[in-house]
Structure 1
Amino acid sequence: MAKRDFYEVLGIARGASPDEIKKAYRQKAKELHPDRNQDNPQAEAQFKEANEAYDVLKDEQKKAAYDRFGHGAFEGGMGGGGGGRGAGFGQQGDFASAFSDVFEDLFGDFMGGRGGQGGRSRAQRGSDLRYNLRVTLEEAFKGVQKTISVPTAVSCESCHGTGAEGGAEPVTCPTCSGLGKVRAQQGFFTIERTCPTCGGAGQTVKNPCRACGGAGRVEKERTLSVNIPAGVETGTRIRLAGEGEAGLRGGPTGDLYIFIEVREHPIFQRDGAHLYCRVPVSITTAAIGGEVEVPTIDGGRSKVKVPAGSQTGKQMRLRGKGMPALRGGGIGDMLIELAVETPVNLTARQRELLMEFDRLSEDNNPEGSSFFSKVKSFWDGKR
C-alpha cells in the first residue's frame, strides 16, 4: 500500500511553518492516541503514520529532501538529508525522537513535570507568603507603621544557601547528568520522570549542611516593619517584594503579601471614603431645633444644627470629614443621620405635660395626618 503524502497526513499545506507543523502534529497526536481510541483498531497505525510524518517535516534537511524527492528521499540512501534514517522509521528509536518533542505539550506535568525546566537550574524560587493584618479605623484614617512577626524560611547562614557543608558548590547529578529528569522506553513511548536521585534539581550535595539538611534554608521567625498608608480598606493588599520565603539552594526569595482588614468601629460606619454616624436627638430638639455636638474620625468635634421639625432618618453632611482616598483622590464626607428618641420612664408630671401637648398638637403632625387620611379612604373604599 502506497504511503500517503506527509503533508496530507498532518492536514497542512506544503508551505507550512515549523510552528504550524508542530501544532498540526500535536492535534493529530491527541486525536489518534491509542489510549483515547481503544475501540478503533486503526488508531495505532494512524498514530505511527502521524509520528513518521512529523519526524521528517520537523527536520529542515529531511523536509527539504522530502519536498524534492518525496518518499523516495528515504529509500536506498537518496537525498542528502535523509540518508541513514532510511525506510527504517518503524524502529522505536525514531518514533521516540519524534514523539518526545511534543510529549510534555500533550501531557503537561504527567509523570514528572514539564521538561526542560525542572533540573536545568538547581535553584528554586521561594514561595510567596500571606499575612493578615488588622488595623483600626483610626489607623486606616491616619496611616500607621506596624511591626509584624512572620514565620518563614530564610537562607541558611552556615552554608550561605548552597545546601552543602562549608558553602561548597553542589555537583552534577550522576543519574540524570544535570537534566533533572530521566527517560525510560516503554513500547513506542518515551516516558520522562523526575530524577529520583536529585528530585529534579539536576545537582546533588555530597556533604549536606548539618544546619539545614542540604535545603539551603532554615525555618525562622522574622520581624518586619510595615508602612500602612492612609485610606486602606478591608481587602487592600500590600506587596513586599523579596520578603517571602527564601529559595531552595540559593534560589530567589518569594514575596510577602499583607492583606488588610479594618476593624468595625463603635461609632462610625464606612462606605468607601465616606463615613456615617447615627446621632440620637431628643424629641424636644427635633421639634424646636437646636444643636448637637458630634465626634469626627480625626478625634475632633463638630457642632451640627438640627432644623426644627426634624424627623428620624434626616441626614446632614459634613464635607471633608470622611476618610482619605487611597493613593490620593481627596477626602470623603461624613454623613450625620438623626435618630429622634422617644422618652422612657416618665414621671407623673412629664406624662401630664405630654398628654396636654398631645391635645394641643392635632395639626402639628403632617405625616401622621396624611397617613391616617389615607387609611380612612382605604377603609371607606372597602364598604
Structure 2
Amino acid sequence: MSQQDYYQTLGVSKTATDAEIKKAYRKLAMQYHPDHSKGNKHAEEMFKKVSEAYAVLSDKEKRQQYDTFGSTDFHQRYSQEDIFRNADLGDILKEFGFGGQGGRFSFGGGSPFGGPFGGRQRRQAPVKGSDLVYELPLTLRDVAGGTSKTVTFQHQGRNENITVKIPPGMITGKKLRLAGKGEQSSYGGPPGDLYIQSRVSADPVFTAEEYDLHTTTTIRLSESLLGTQVQIPTVEGGELNLKIPPGTRHKTRMRLAGHGLPKMKGSKKGDLYVTVSVDIGNKLTSEQKKLVEKLAATGL
C-alpha cells in the first residue's frame, strides 16, 4: 500500500489523543466498511487506508517511530504484518455488529492475524528493535576535512565504544547509520540501528548556513576609499587573497565561490561570504582632522 499521511487519513491533528484517534477511526470504518459498500472499490481502498492509519496511531511505540522518523523511514522498518500486529481493529468492528468480519480482502497481501480481515494467516515477521540517535558534536574543521571519532553508547545493557569515520560535509542534522547497534527487540526480532547525528559547534571565525560559510574582515576608511587587498582565513587553516575595490562600502558582502563546506556524496562545495566592515575610528588625531578637513574642502 502506498505511503500516506496517517493523521490526514483519519482527519485528526498530530496532537490528537488516543480517544480522538479511536473516535475518528470508528466513524470512518463505519462509513467505508465493505458490508456497507459492497462492490465499491474506492470504499474498500479507503477502509484499508483508515485501518492502517489507526493500527499505527493507536499503538504508542509505532506512533512515536512514525512521528520521529517520518513516513519513509517508518515503512522501511515496518512491514504490513508489523503494522497490523496487536491492533484492536476486530474488537472495534464487533461493536458495529459485524461479528468480527472485516470483509473479504487482505491488507498488503494478507492480514497478519486473520480473523476480522479475512484471508490466510501468514507467518509473522519479527519486529525490529527501536533505533537510537547519538548526537555527536563536530567542529567546522571536522566537517570540512572529515575525521574519526570514538563514541560511547549503551548497547545490550553495557557501554560500548566504537570508532566512527566521519565523512566530509556532515553538517548539522546529517546522520550515519550503524546497523544493529540500536535497542534489542522485545519480540525476538533483529536489533534496531544506531544513528550518529552531527551537531556542529560554534566557531570563533565562521558561521555556517548549510554548506555556505560567513566571516567578517575589517578595513580602514582610507582602504575602503582607495581599495586594498586582505588575507581571508579558510576553514581548513589556509588563507585566501581578497581584493577590495576602491569605494567599497561598510557591510559590503563579497563571495569566494567554492570555499565553503564540501557536500556529502559529491565534489561540490558551498561558498565563503566575507562581510567588509569599515572602521572609521572613534577619535581623530589633530593631524588626521586637518587632513579630513582638506578632503572636505575638495568636495569629498
Shift of 1:251: 4.1
Matching residue of 2:240: 302
> C-alpha deviations, 1:12-38, integer Å up to 9, x for none?
36xx9xx99x98xx999968836xxxx
Shift of 1:318: 2.3
Higher relative contact order (CA 8 A, sep 6+): 1
Greater Cα shift, 322-331 or 219-228 = 322-331
Shift of 1:348: 2.8
1:136 and 2:139 matched:
yes
Q: 1:51 to 1:11 in 2, by over 3 A?
A: farther
The one-letter amino acid paired with 2:139 is T
Matching residue of 2:171: 233
Q: 1:269 to 1:248 in 2, by over 3 A?
A: same
8 A contact 2:225–2:246 mirrored in 1: yes
Q: Distance in 2 between matches of 1:284 and 1:355?
A: 14
Shift of 1:223: 0.3
Shift of 1:341: 1.0
1:12 and 2:26 matched:
no
Shift of 1:127: 2.5
Structural RMSD (CA) = 3.9
Q: 1:306 to 1:247 in 2, by over 3 A?
A: same
Matching residue of 1:270: 208
Identity of aligned pairs, percent?
A: 29
Q: 1:285 to 1:124 in 2, by over 3 A?
A: same
Q: Distance in 1 between matches of 2:38 and 2:244?
A: 81
2:240 alignment partner, SS class = strand
In structure 1, which of residues 146, 171, 188 is the aligned counterpart of residue 149 of structure 2? 146
In structure 2, which of residues 250, 253, 261 is the aligned counterpart of residue 312 of structure 1? 250
In structure 1, which of residues 202, 210, 220 is the aligned counterpart of residue 158 of structure 2? 220
Aligned length: 213
Counting only pairs closer than 5 Å after superposition, residues 79-118 of structure 1 correspond to structure 2 as: 101-102=115-116
The one-letter amino acid paired with 2:169 is G
The one-letter amino acid paired with 1:279 is T
8 A contact 1:10–1:28 mirrored in 2: no
Q: Distance in 2 between matches of 1:359 and 1:312?
A: 23
8 A contact 2:218–2:276 mirrored in 1: yes
Q: Distance in 2 between matches of 1:241 and 1:101?
A: 35
Q: Distance in 2 between matches of 1:11 and 1:131?
A: 49
Q: Distance in 1 between matches of 2:99 and 2:264?
A: 58
Q: 1:296 to 1:32 in 2, by over 3 A?
A: closer
The one-letter amino acid paired with 1:101 is G
1:102 alignment partner, SS class = helix
Shift of 1:284: 0.7
Normalised by the length of structure 2, the TM-score is 0.59
Q: 1:9 to 1:297 in 2, by over 3 A?
A: closer
Greater Cα shift, 126-135 or 349-358 = 349-358
Q: 1:320 to 1:12 in 2, by over 3 A?
A: closer
1:352 alignment partner, SS class = helix
Q: Distance in 1 between matches of 2:163 and 2:189?
A: 24
Please list every run of 5 or more consecutive structure 1 residues that lacks an aligned counterpart in the other structure: 1-7, 35-46, 59-99, 105-114, 155-218, 365-383
The one-letter amino acid paired with 1:253 is P
Q: 1:9 to 1:301 in 2, by over 3 A?
A: closer
8 A contact 1:126–1:247 mirrored in 2: yes
Q: 1:29 to 1:333 in 2, by over 3 A?
A: closer
1:280 and 2:218 matched:
yes
> C-alpha deviations, 1:112-166, integer Å up to 9, x for none?
xxx999xx79x764321111111001110001110010023x2xxxxxxxxxxxx
Q: Distance in 2 between matches of 1:324 and 1:146?
A: 19
Please list every run of 5 or more consecutive structure 2 residues that lacks an aligned counterpart in the other structure: 1-33, 52-88, 105-113
> C-alpha deviations, 1:33-80, integer Å up to 9, x for none?
36xxxxxxxxxxxx3xx549x69x97xxxxxxxxxxxxxxxxxxxxxx
Q: Distance in 2 between matches of 1:130 and 1:289?
A: 51
Q: Distance in 2 between matches of 1:11 and 1:288?
A: 82
Counting only pairs closer than 5 Å after superposition, residues 343-362 of structure 1 correspond to structure 2 as: 343-360=281-298, 362=299
Q: Distance in 1 between matches of 2:143 and 2:210?
A: 12
Q: Distance in 1 between matches of 2:227 and 2:199?
A: 40
8 A contact 2:257–2:270 mirrored in 1: yes
Q: Distance in 1 between matches of 2:194 and 2:91?
A: 42
1:339 alignment partner, SS class = strand
Q: Distance in 1 between matches of 2:278 and 2:195?
A: 46
8 A contact 2:93–2:99 mirrored in 1: no
Counting only pairs closer than 5 Å after superposition, residues 1-383 of structure 1 correspond to structure 2 as: 12=38, 33=95, 47=97, 50-51=98-99, 101-102=115-116, 125-152=128-155, 154=156, 219-248=157-186, 251-360=189-298, 362=299, 364=300
Q: Distance in 1 between matches of 2:189 and 2:239?
A: 55
Normalised by the length of structure 1, the TM-score is 0.48
Which of the two has higher C-alpha Rg?
1
8 A contact 1:281–1:341 mirrored in 2: yes
